[in-house]
């Protein structure tokens, strides 16, 4: 006859016990959680902190220097504020200097980004979706061409593009900047990878069985699922077009069509000449105003582009 097992109120009979009494399961659970917790690397933390410091110091200097007058920049060009806080005066002077040409450069940049980056994103979405979900002759050759195009820097194509556009009579026009910006091999490749994992084939087949055509399937079924990838590609193309310098430098001669990058460089060259030092505070303030839209865009859309970058990295 077996004797009954004594249990402690509130504990299970199957709970392990030791010489000093029952051993709580909490210890084993804590050991499991501590084993699952990622290990901290002191060296990696130090290197990351140095990279963060290297990235933030120029931004801090730019933000602080934009609050100084021209005389204040001459007195103290360090990482601390001057006695005269002139940020608002610098902003007003930046937009009104030389008949408000900075506003014209800003509008030109918005035009190039809206048509160039927006068009590049749209074409990348269409091309990536088609390459991911349709099988056609030459698909592997297209893949090789796209991978090869990603490896070619844009500056290497600027001079051949200028010669071609010169024959067509499109140089010194906005189209000389917009049309080359429509091509984004990296955006196409990113959308290809994203669409492969984000759109289940069964969902597309169900839409086709319900009578939806390919265009309707794309816009009603595929496009909502591609939203994180679209935002990611849009951010990459927007940053590339916003910061584009060499292509407008080759294509444009009329200052009225300059983007912000060329315009601020023209002011900087003017500040380097004798008697032109009075516009250096405008160069600093204009540079701060130029990067603010990109910072705001990344902060507002970070959850979308982070999920877009992570998509396709892990297969279920």
Query: Among the listed ranges 130-139, 180-189, 304-313, which one has the minimum average pLDDT value?
Result: 304-313
pTM across the whole model: 0.78
Report d(CA 304, CA 309) in Å as an integer. 9
118 C-beta neighbours (distance < 10 Å), count: 16
pLDDT tens, position by position, 240-263? 999 999 999 999 998 899 999 999
For domain 99-310, the question of CATH label 3.40.50.970 is answered with no
pLDDT value for 68: 83
Range ranked top by mean pLDDT from 21-25, 270-274, 281-285: 281-285
The percentage of the chain sitting over the pLDDT mark of 70, rounded to a whole number, equals 81
pLDDT value for 110: 95
Mean pLDDT of the chain: 81
Q: Quick check: 105 and 259 in contact, CB under 8 A?
A: yes
Q: How confident is the model at residue 150 (pLDDT cuts 50, 70, 90)?
A: confident
Total length of the chain: 316
Mean pLDDT of 264-286: 81
pLDDT value for 314: 43
Q: What residues contact residue 215 under an 8 Å CB cut-off, 6+ apart? A: none
């Amino acid at each position: 006859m077996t004797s009954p097992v004594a249990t402690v109120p509130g504990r299970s009979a199957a709970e392990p016990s030791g010489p000093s009494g029952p051993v709580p399961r909490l210890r084993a659970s804590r050991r499991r959680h501590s084993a699952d917790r990622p290990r901290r690397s002191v060296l990696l933390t130090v290197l990351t902190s140095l990279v963060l410091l290297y990235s933030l110091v120029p931004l801090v200097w730019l933000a602080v220097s934009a609050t100084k007058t021209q005389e204040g920049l001459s007195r103290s060009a360090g990482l601390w504020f001057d006695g005269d806080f002139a940020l608002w005066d610098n902003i007003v002077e930046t937009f009104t200097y030389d008949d408000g040409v900075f506003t014209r450069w800003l509008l030109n940049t918005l035009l190039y980004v809206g048509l160039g980056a927006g068009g590049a994103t749209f074409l990348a979405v269409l091309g990536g979706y088609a390459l991911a979900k349709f099988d056609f002759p030459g698909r592997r050759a297209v893949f090789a061409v796209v991978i090869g195009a990603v490896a070619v820097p844009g500056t290497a194509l600027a001079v051949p593009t200028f010669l071609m556009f010169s024959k067509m009579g499109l140089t010194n026009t906005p189209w000389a900047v917009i049309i080359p910006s429509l091509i984004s091999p990296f955006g196409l490749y990113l959308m290809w990878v994203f669409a492969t994992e984000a759109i289940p084939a069964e969902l597309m087949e169900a839409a086709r069985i319900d009578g939806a055509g390919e265009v309707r399937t794309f816009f009603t079924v595929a496009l909502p699922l591609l939203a994180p990838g679209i935002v990611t590609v849009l951010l990459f193309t927007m940053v590339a077009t916003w910061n584009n310098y060499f292509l407008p430098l080759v294509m444009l001669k009329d200052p009225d069509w300059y983007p912000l990058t060329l315009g601020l460089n023209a002011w900087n060259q003017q500040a380097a000449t004798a008697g032109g030092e009075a516009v250096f505070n405008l160069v600093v303030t204009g540079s701060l105003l130029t990067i603010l839209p990109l910072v705001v865009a990344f902060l507002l859309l970070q959850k979308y582009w982070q999920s877009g970058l992570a998509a396709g990295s892990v297969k279920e």
